[in-house]
Structure 1
Amino acid sequence: MGKQRSSGTHLDPSFASDNVAGVSPSILTALGEANQSAAVPYGGDTTSAQLLEWTKSEFGSQAEIYPVFNGTGANVVALQAMLPRWGAAICSIGAHLNNDEGAAPERLGAIKLLPRPASEGKLTSADIEAELGAMGFVHAAQPLAVTVTQSTEVGTLYSLEELATVAATAHRHGMGVHIDGARLSNAAAALGVGIGELVAHSGADVVSLGGTKNGALAAEAVVVINPDRVAGMGYIRKYSMQLASKQRFIAAQLLELFSTELWHRNAHHANTQAARLGERLQALEGVHVQAQPSVNAVFPEVPVDMAARIQSTYLAHTWDTAPSGNPVLRLMCSWETTDEQIDDLMSCAAASELVHERG
């Protein structure tokens, strides 16, 4: 069974997603500072210029950055710029692009996706090579880009070597490489590398750089590492309704997040809290956490009655059904997840055990 979204305004959303978290205080301060005076619109402001300087220092002198409003916009703009009209993008079948963007790639971007049933949410060289039969066949969309998600929708990580291998295979066959980096900060923190180092080792041509899930407010960006792999990025961003007139407010957030250690502090905290939550859940009778969380997502298989208790209080999505028949939940930690919130969730999960012990 596939994932099922929970709903209910009365439920505590603390672990539903990292999107439920607020805005980092220092980012609010940066927004206030950007609001002090008039500025040239559409990216002509000094804050956007500073963001571009940071981009070139982090990703190389050829790098360009295009701030956008949201992750779906970043992905759709990036792939449109990478693909000709007859092109297609290879992705994991579980990718956010494929499942959670409301057909925006297809309807707004006219992008053909070629989803692969990737193990642990990760594409391999074999997945790319499996699509090569379409090359030169006039009746098939041409696989001309590969898009990987780092970290993945199932909370796994590509190692630097895995990313480099996928990129090398794609490039060898003339394909561009895109990273959906909505949680790239969590991945970099978990791997113990900087954002620029991760991207450099990945071989990516274009990156969707996420800020919102890590403490920003509606602030994402398309970062072009290799300008030869894209065309018309500025025009595409405009007609895709992702060009902000008051761009300085997006740029100010990205600059505060990534030109300081804030991105790492926030992501490291979220990852650490997820590891703590996973360990505590694993200690409960009947709970199985398949793997120690790599980033800020925990996927515990829990007894049906425990799932019912948790979901009667928390907005917690049922992600899958285990072979045992028990539900697998998805619990997410964020930059502001507290120890007290974890304690409260654990009390809810273990309620029947506590009652039994006291009895």
Structure 2
Amino acid sequence: MGLRGFGSDNFSGVLPEVFKALEESAFGHQHSYGEDKYTEKAIEDFKQIFGDDIDVYFVYNGTGANILSLSAFTHSYNAIICAETAHINVDECGAIEKQTGSKLLTVPTFDGKLSLGLIHNHMHGFDDQHHAQPKIISLTQCTELGTVYTHDELKEICDFAHAHDMYVHMDGARLANAVAYLGCTPASITKEVGIDVLSFGGTKNGMMFGEAVVFFNTTMSKEVKYIRKQLMQLHSKSRFIAAQFSAVLKDNLWLKSAAHANAMAQKLANAAEQIPSVSITQKVEANEIFAIIPREKITKLQNECFFYVWDEDAAEVRWVCSFDTTENDVIEFANLLRQELC
């Protein structure tokens, strides 16, 4: 491997502030299973962002966060509506259906975003004992195609869901990138539009490990502590997840890191779209770029600077920038693209 790759924001290391927080929390004894001062502090940090009327649960990873979120709102006879490209459908090895027992009802989309028109396709079979009962809509922000839901788009879906006695989950593995792109407050595209539960990402934005589940609909979170234990997502030394969150939430570090990743993606997209044989396929609204490039050049480019193929049939690839992507990384990769593709 030559250049630093653009495969995933999971490839990146750890923010120095996070590493320092882990080091500082490593000494001495604290109560276990969340009854420690670090967990208490991190929960207060989340309340500074979203208000006091929330419940926060820390988990190991994104799949665990999504399962815990959706398990709180569903029974095994329910169904979950999501985009066909959703992480819960494509990249979690059937975990949602196995662990919740609920059926995923997927919707094909061009840009990864659900709309009322698309959701309507699955709004039938209510009160029919032969039909899985739709109960929750899962949205990804940012979407798996790097696009971002606006405040109005989210509110329209949440209002619709609640009018039909349904709930809305947000997979916010890259929520920070969406907030940075929109220039809004985190609450304005989650709690204030009617999101019931949020999987709040940490790992893709500079943490070593750990995610958070934030319940805005706290009437549904009363038994979540038991579900988390059964799902093997209760960390005995919870302080090591909590301390990281306090570090990234302090002084809006999580948003600054995401804004940098977004800016690097835009810089790379601007350079790549000047190459005639490159076609950018999605709006670059966060830290991901999707592009069609000459098929015969993909392997050689990957050997020089790794990235993933998104759609084999279309020769569509994905480039992802991270909090630690540098301008020099972008310039070197753009030069490589020009060298190989022009």
Match of 1:331 in 2: 319
Do residues 112 (structure 1) and 100 (structure 2) align? Answer: no
Q: Distance in 1 between matches of 2:149 and 2:256?
A: 21
Do residues 73 (structure 1) and 61 (structure 2) align? Answer: no
Structure 2 counterpart of 1:192, from 183, 188, 191? 183
Q: Distance in 1 between matches of 2:241 and 2:312?
A: 39
Give the alignment of 1:148-297 within 5 angstroms: 148-297=139-288
Q: Distance in 2 between matches of 1:136 and 1:352?
A: 58
> Residue by residue, what CA displacement relative to the aligned partner does 1:248-280 show, whole Å, maximum 9, x if unpaired?
010011111124211111000000000000000
Give the alignment of 1:10-89 within 5 angstroms: 14-89=5-80
Alpha-carbon contact 1:207-1:223 (below 8 Å) kept: yes
Deviation of 1:116 after TM superposition, in Å, equals 1.0
> Residue by residue, what CA displacement relative to the aligned partner does 1:101-131 show, whole Å, maximum 9, x if unpaired?
0111122332321111133111112233322
Deviation of 1:230 after TM superposition, in Å, equals 3.9
> Residue by residue, what CA displacement relative to the aligned partner does 1:24-50 show, whole Å, maximum 9, x if unpaired?
000111111111221000000011111
Query: Stretches of 4+ moved more than 3 A in 1?
Result: 10-13
The number of residues matched between the two structures is 342
Which secondary structure state, in structure 2, belongs to the residue aligned with residue 65 of structure 1?
A: strand
Structure 1 counterpart of 2:330, from 332, 342, 345? 342
Q: Distance in 2 between matches of 1:352 and 1:156?
A: 28
Which secondary structure state, in structure 2, belongs to the residue aligned with residue 200 of structure 1?
A: coil
Q: Distance in 2 between matches of 1:259 and 1:220?
A: 16
> Residue by residue, what CA displacement relative to the aligned partner does 1:3-42 show, whole Å, maximum 9, x if unpaired?
xxxxxxx576620000000000001111111112210000
Alpha-carbon contact 2:177-2:258 (below 8 Å) kept: yes
Letter aligned with residue 188 of structure 1:
V
Alpha-carbon contact 2:269-2:284 (below 8 Å) kept: yes
Q: Distance in 1 between matches of 2:341 and 2:312?
A: 23
Deviation of 1:353 after TM superposition, in Å, equals 6.3
Q: Identity rate of aligned residues, in percent? A: 36
Match of 1:95 in 2: 86
Alpha-carbon contact 2:3-2:329 (below 8 Å) kept: no
Q: Distance in 2 between matches of 1:112 and 1:274?
A: 35
> Residue by residue, what CA displacement relative to the aligned partner does 1:215-238 show, whole Å, maximum 9, x if unpaired?
001110110111123452100111
Which secondary structure state, in structure 2, belongs to the residue aligned with residue 42 of structure 1?
A: coil
Deviation of 1:92 after TM superposition, in Å, equals 0.5
Deviation of 1:299 after TM superposition, in Å, equals 0.9
Structure 1 residues 12 and 239, CA, compared in 2 at 3 Å: closer, same or farther?
Answer: farther
Match of 2:339 in 1: 351
TM-score (norm 2): 0.95
Alpha-carbon contact 1:41-1:247 (below 8 Å) kept: yes
Uncovered stretches (5+) of structure 2, i.e. residues with no partner: none
Which secondary structure state, in structure 2, belongs to the residue aligned with residue 285 of structure 1?
A: coil
Structure 1 residues 139 and 292, CA, compared in 2 at 3 Å: closer, same or farther?
Answer: closer
Letter aligned with residue 85 of structure 2:
G
Deviation of 1:321 after TM superposition, in Å, equals 5.4
Q: Distance in 2 between matches of 1:152 and 1:352?
A: 30
Alpha-carbon contact 1:146-1:170 (below 8 Å) kept: yes
Give the alignment of 1:303-342 within 5 angstroms: 303-320=294-311, 327-342=315-330
Q: Distance in 1 between matches of 2:304 and 2:24?
A: 39
Q: Distance in 1 between matches of 2:126 and 2:141?
A: 27
Q: Distance in 1 between matches of 2:102 and 2:31?
A: 33
59-68 or 92-101: bigger deviation: 59-68
Do residues 131 (structure 1) and 122 (structure 2) align? Answer: yes
Deviation of 1:306 after TM superposition, in Å, equals 3.5
Alpha-carbon contact 1:163-1:201 (below 8 Å) kept: no
Structure 1 residues 133 and 231, CA, compared in 2 at 3 Å: closer, same or farther?
Answer: farther
